[in-house]
């Protein structure tokens, strides 16, 4: 996929990003900011300014800023107090309404969707206490065995986003999340199916994953 961004990878004749946008449209979100980088013009050409009932806008980085730096660049376009953030190369079949409710009930500054995996050694793990507060992040290559992993879907307050450094590349997952543990960071434990297309092996499973998801969803909605 060197000739296109991963979000445009073909899955059952559709760009991978379209499945994420279907999920947002189904849960009646309306304004979406797409953070793009290298070859980002292809994303805008493919999707334009709308998708279903979604209004699309774009924030394009001209040099690599990392996952957090891209959010800091997009901050002037963000309007809601808490911002829903989704990685563009993974999908989790989570109830976003329940996720929002959990975030607000807990009065969290940040919430992360977590999914259970039989072995977390290749993805790292996230540990939470009995109240759902995140207590520890463990990097890839740590302990083997079952545990909760980061599903790449977050709700973060603009207060947290405004603390991101304005210069250089910054990683949300590796640099900022561990530092926000004592600042109201919670995990939302989801039983939804999860797919990350970051490796060729995982991408090879995408068609079967979405064929199954679509078959079990009314009118193909997620």
Distance of CA 217 to the CA centre of its chain: 21
Cα 33 from chain centre = 13
Annotated domain spans of the chain: 6-217
Q: What does the mean pLDDT of the chain come to?
A: 92
d(CA 155, CA 85): 6
Structure tokens given for 21? 């946008």
Q: What is the pLDDT of residues 61-100, one digit of tens each?
A: 999 999 999 999 999 999 899 999 999 999 999 999 999 9
pLDDT band at 215 (very low <50, low <70, confident <90, very high): very low
Give Cα 155 distance to the centre of its chain: 9
C-alpha to C-alpha distance for 208 and 102, rounded to whole angstroms = 31
Quote the pLDDT of residue 30: 95
Q: How far is CA 41 from CA 23, 26, 89, in A?
A: 23, 26, 17
Q: Give pLDDT, residue 111.
A: 98
Domain 6-217 has CATH 3.90.550.10: yes
- Looking at the DSSP assignment, which residues form a beta bridge with residue 72? none
Residue 28, judged by CB atoms within 10 A of its CB (0-12, 13-18, 19+), counts as exposed
Q: What predicted TM-score, i.e. pTM, was given to this entire model?
A: 0.92
More confident of the two residues 141 and 52: 52
Query: Left (φ > 0), alpha (ψ -120 to 50) or beta: where does 132 sit?
Result: left
pLDDT at 213: 64
pLDDT in tens, 9-38: 999 999 999 999 999 999 999 999 999 999
């Amino acid at each position: 996929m060197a000739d296109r961004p991963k979000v445009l990878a073909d899955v059952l004749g559709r760009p991978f990003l379209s499945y994420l946008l279907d999920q947002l449209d189904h849960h009646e979100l309306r304004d979406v900011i797409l953070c793009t980088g290298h070859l980002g013009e292809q994303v805008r050409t493919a999707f334009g300014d709308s998708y279903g009932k979604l209004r699309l806008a774009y924030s394009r980085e001209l040099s690599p800023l990392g996952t957090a730096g891209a959010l800091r660049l997009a901050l002037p376009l963000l309007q809601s107090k808490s911002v829903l953030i989704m990685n563009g190369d993974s999908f989790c079949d989570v109830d976003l309404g329940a996720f929002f409710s959990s975030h607000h009930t807990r009065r969290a500054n940040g919430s992360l969707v977590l999914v259970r995996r039989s072995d977390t050694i290749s993805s790292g793990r996230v540990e939470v206490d009995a109240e759902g507060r995140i207590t520890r992040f463990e990097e890839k290559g740590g302990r083997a065995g079952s545990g909760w992993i980061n599903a790449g879907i977050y709700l973060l307050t603009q207060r947290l986003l405004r603390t991101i450094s304005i210069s250089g590349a910054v990683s949300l997952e590796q640099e900022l999340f561990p530092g926000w543990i004592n600042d109201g960071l919670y995990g939302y434990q989801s039983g939804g199916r999860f797919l990350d297309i970051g490796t060729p092996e995982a991408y090879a499973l995408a068609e079967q994953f979405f064929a199954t998801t679509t078959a079990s969803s009314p009118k193909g909605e997620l």
